[in-house]
């Protein structure tokens, strides 16, 4: 007889820092059935005033703020994060606009179990210092005609992990960083992030169920 533990969905924690538009895309994808191999059980924010916490509450998902500032050091904050992940039996972490850099020790412990979304086609406009509007400002400054979004696994190198999915988006004449940011979210991020989460959760579930 199959173990009940093996039949449960993959438990997902979403890490956030701001408004939580990608979190909302994941919540919507879960409700519409795009994400079916996993379920979002926990939201962790690096800021206590992040609107993403409200989105989590509205969806009935437990949420907590944990930061280096609150706990005095990166090590202490990550220890608290690990405690929460253990408490909720988390199998997969999704970084959805999470602006804190996780330590190499943390990412090693979660090898191929942390997904990040980056608002450009890696290896363009990525790495340390490239996040949020800065990515789109640089794409426009450089004059590229095509940009997009990338999902990838997280390792100790910022934006350096194995790529899962990419989707291209056209840069239009007259684009501002804000306009381009919105188009990349709508046409790429909100599409490939849920698909990448489902793909990874399904793989974790298959591996677990076969043990």
Q: Which two tokens stand for residue 127?
A: 């790495």
For residues 197 and 29, what is the distance between their CA atoms, to the nearest angstrom? 10
**Which residues are tagged catalytic?**
118
Query: For residue 122, which phi and psi values (nearest 5 degrees)?
Result: -55, 135
Half-sphere exposure of 191 (CA within 13 A, CB side): 14
């Amino acid at each position: 007889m199959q173990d009940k533990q093996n039949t449960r969905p993959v438990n997902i924690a979403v890490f956030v820092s701001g408004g939580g538009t990608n979190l909302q895309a994941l919540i919507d994808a879960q409700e519409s059935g795009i994400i079916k191999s996993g379920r979002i059980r926990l939201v962790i924010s690096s800021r206590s005033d992040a609107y993403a916490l409200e989105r989590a509450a509205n969806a009935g998902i437990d949420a907590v703020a944990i930061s280096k500032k609150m706990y005095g050091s990166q090590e202490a904050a990550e220890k608290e994060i690990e405690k929460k992940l253990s408490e909720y039996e988390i199998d997969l972490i999704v970084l959805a606009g999470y602006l804190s850099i996780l330590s190499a020790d943390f990412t090693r412990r979660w090898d191929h179990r942390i997904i990040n979304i980056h608002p450009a086609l890696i290896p363009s406009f990525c790495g340390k210092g490239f996040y949020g509007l800065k990515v789109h400002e640089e794409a426009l400054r450089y004059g590229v005609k095509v940009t997009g979004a990338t999902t990838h696994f997280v390792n100790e190198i910022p934006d350096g992990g194995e790529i899962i999915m990419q989707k291209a988006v056209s840069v239009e004449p007259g684009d501002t960083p804000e306009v381009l940011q919105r188009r990349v979210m709508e046409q790429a991020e909100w599409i490939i992030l849920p698909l990448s989460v489902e793909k990874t959760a399904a793989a974790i579930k298959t591996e677990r169920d076969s043990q």
